[in-house]
């Protein structure tokens, strides 16, 4: 199986995504979506940004590599009574089933960044966007002190080294790397802009209980704990992550509220 597909079909990312909904809606509110706009949401999960895009009147196609997340997205759309959105399986590195110059807006929030072959990803996003259209990405930032970058950094210390030729998804959070990828896809450098923003994870439980959800449902953390258990290091990993979650929590009275910084990338095609 495709390792990226296996990673995101592992566990149940919908449980984590449910804690990101408010920030997903806030992100979409700034996109200037108008009724009838053709939107591709790439690496969409179960629709944290795709559902709000559809609620604002866009005609939305959500594409994700994980079959379980696509099914969850279609169920959410049906439950919400939305007939202007469809979720389907697809790979951000090869969108050959989608025609050229088809979308007014391509959005990928913590999605396409995890696909391998980033130059192919950039090329495909540009190809399917109409001339004059836009691409907007939200990408985690390498070395950032906030939650997600630190979860991935801590977890990587416990997992086996990646295969030869592996390109870290976190490089999508570096401006120079983003510029290199999109200019190779034919975008002038001056058409690429950046803004640092944050997503907030909100849930009515303690930080330790929230970490438990990552351990059970979030692919990268699940892999880290499986590897740590084999090496007798699971308790050490648990302690490190508990300290991280507790230190970053702004919530009180059993509520968890943690910010995570990301790089917002805007591309004019």
Mean pLDDT of 45-69: 98
Q: How far apart are CA 39 and CA 135, in angstroms?
A: 10
What pLDDT, on a 0 to 100 scale, did the predictor assign at position 163?
84
Query: Would you say residue 22 lies in a domain?
Result: yes
Whether the per-residue pLDDT at 81 is higher than 90: the answer is yes
Burial 3-28 (b: 16+ CB within 10 A, else e): ebeebbbbbbbbebbebbeebbbebb
Query: Would you say residue 81 lies in a domain?
Result: yes
What pLDDT, on a 0 to 100 scale, did the predictor assign at position 162?
84
What pLDDT, on a 0 to 100 scale, did the predictor assign at position 2?
85
CATH at residue 104: 3.40.50.150
Whether the per-residue pLDDT at 1 is higher than 80: the answer is no
Query: Would you say residue 247 lies in a domain?
Result: no
Copy the structure tokens of residue 55. Answer: 């609620």
What pLDDT, on a 0 to 100 scale, did the predictor assign at position 132?
97
Whether the per-residue pLDDT at 31 is higher than 90: the answer is yes
* ∠ CA 233-239-245, rounded to 5°: 135
Query: Would you say residue 213 lies in a domain?
Result: no
Phi-psi region of 228 (alpha: psi -120 to 50; beta: other; left: phi over 0): alpha
Whether the per-residue pLDDT at 161 is higher than 90: the answer is no
What pLDDT, on a 0 to 100 scale, did the predictor assign at position 165?
86
Residue in this structure with the two tokens 């696909």, named with its chain if needed: 115
- pLDDT tens-digit profile of 87-131? 999 999 999 999 999 999 999 999 999 999 999 999 999 999 999
Query: Would you say residue 223 lies in a domain?
Result: no
Domain that holds residue 169: 3-142+164-201+260-268
Are 106 and 129 within 8 A, CB to CB?
A: yes
């Amino acid at each position: 199986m495709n390792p990226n597909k296996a990673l995101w079909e592992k566990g149940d990312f919908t449980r984590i995504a449910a804690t990101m909904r408010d920030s997903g809606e806030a992100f979409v509110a700034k996109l200037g979506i108008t009724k009838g706009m053709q939107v591709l949401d790439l690496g969409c999960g179960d629709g944290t940004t795709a559902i709000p895009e559809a609620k604002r009147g866009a005609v939305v196609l959500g594409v994700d590599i994980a079959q379980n997340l696509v099914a969850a997205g279609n169920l959410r759309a049906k439950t919400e009574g939305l007939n202007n959105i469809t979720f389907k399986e697809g790979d951000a590195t090869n969108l050959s089933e989608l025609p050229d110059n088809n979308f007014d807006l391509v959005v990928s929030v913590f999605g396409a960044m995890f696909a391998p072959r980033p130059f192919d990803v950039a090329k495909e996003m540009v190809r399917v966007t109409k001339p004059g259209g836009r691409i907007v990405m939200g990408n985690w930032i390498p070395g950032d002190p906030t939650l997600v970058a630190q979860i991935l950094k801590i977890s990587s210390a416990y997992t086996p080294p990646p295969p030869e030729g592996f390109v870290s998804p976190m490089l999508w959070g570096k401006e120079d790397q983003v510029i290199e990828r999109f200019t190779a896809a034919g975008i002038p450098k001056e058409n690429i802009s950046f803004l640092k923003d944050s997503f907030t994870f909100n849930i009515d439980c303690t930080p330790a209980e929230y970490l438990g959800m990552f351990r059970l449902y979030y692919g990268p953390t699940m892999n880290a704990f499986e590897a740590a258990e084999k090496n007798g290091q699971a308790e050490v990993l648990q302690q490190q992550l508990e300290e991280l979650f507790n230190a970053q929590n702004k919530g009180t009275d059993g509520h968890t509220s943690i910010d995570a910084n990301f790089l917002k990338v805007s591309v004019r095609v």
